[in-house]
Chain A
């Protein structure tokens, strides 16, 4: 499974949105209806799934689905 698909799975699962809505440009809060607590949980799920630590500062910059995928790639996350 591709990195994009794994990230999508986590988002679909956490935010209870349709897979078709999870596009790279989709903003967690504005497009996918996440509140601040959802975002925290989402980041923690990414941390658990990909075995890394996302600092608050870094997490603050991850607004869209694409941001997360790019961030994980930069961190060298292998699928």
Chain B
């Protein structure tokens, strides 16, 4: 029986690359996303090991129900990648409460709810690995992104605290802080922001979703058995 990992936001972008990478590494992936059409389409393309679950990670009841469905249909879940994320960029002076709440709810509360729902099975199994997809803006800040940066910095606190809470049960919890990665999300960033980042990247190029996926595969694998509570930048050196 293959290992089972749940990946949120798996229909496109970094989440999709993570799902593919984990499948190539022998995992069965519970692919969760709120975007039903692209998710179903990916499921048709990618076959058996990519199981689609339409899910709003901010809905606690749905998260609990989906966690049970995944376990019942695929087996015990020992990997979780909290990747689902949205942006509502604008300068704080123009940011509405709704923009703040939406981003915090999906990016931070969603990760909390998923971790809570799936960690119980990992505790039973005495084994598990959770990877939270944060961002370099958690470390650097980002003008026009107070909501996004706060949510991604919040994930680091969640990561380190869960690392301490669950370590005694053999569960590792880590975060990845991707830098400037070419996705639909970053395509929306203002040109000046994109150029500003590119100039400051020691490796001199933007990253790909696959660059992030490789780091996730590592942190879910036994190769990282003694690594927990870390924040791993995958940013071409941007934060150095």
Q: Are B169 and A37 in contact (CB under 8 A)?
A: yes
For residue A44, CB closer than 8 A to chain B, the reply is yes
Besides A35-B168, A37-B123, A37-B165, 6 more A-B contacts (Cβ < 8 Å) are: A37-B166, A37-B168, A37-B169, A41-B120, A41-B123, A44-B120
Chain A residues with CB under 8 Å of B123's CB are: 37, 41
Which chain A residue has the least Cβ–Cβ distance from B168?
A: A37
Interface string of B106-135 (1 = CB under 8 A from A): 000000000000001001000000000000
A-B contact pairs, 9 of them (CB 8 A): A35-B168, A37-B123, A37-B165, A37-B166, A37-B168, A37-B169, A41-B120, A41-B123, A44-B120
Lowest 4 CB-CB distances: which A-B pairs, in order?
A: A37-B168, A41-B123, A37-B169, A44-B120
Residues on B lying within 8 angstroms of A by beta carbon are 120, 123, 165-166, 168-169
Question: Count the A residues whose beta carbon is within 8 Å of the partner chain — how many?
Answer: 4
Which of chain B's residues have a CB closer than 8 A to the CB of A44?
120
Cα distance A35–B168 in the bound complex, in angstroms: 10
Inter-chain CA distance A41–B122, complex, in Å, is 12
How close is A56's CB to chain B, nearest CB, in angstroms?
14
Q: For B166, what are the chain A residues with a Cβ–Cβ distance below 8 Å?
A: 37
Residue of B nearest to A41 (CB): B123
Interface string of A7-30 (1 = CB under 8 A from B): 000000000000000000000000
Bound complex: CA of A37 vs CA of B166, how far in Å? 8
Q: Which residue of A lies closest to B120 (CB)?
A: A44
Chain B nearest CB from A33 CB (Å) reads: 13
CA–CA, A41 to B120, complex, Å? 8
Q: Which residue of A lies closest to B165 (CB)?
A: A37
Note all chain B residues with C-beta closer than 8 A to A41.
Answer: 120, 123
Q: Report the bound CA distance from A13 to B168 in whole Å.
A: 18
Cβ–Cβ < 8 Å partners of A35 in chain B: 168
B17 → chain A, closest Cβ, in Å?
34
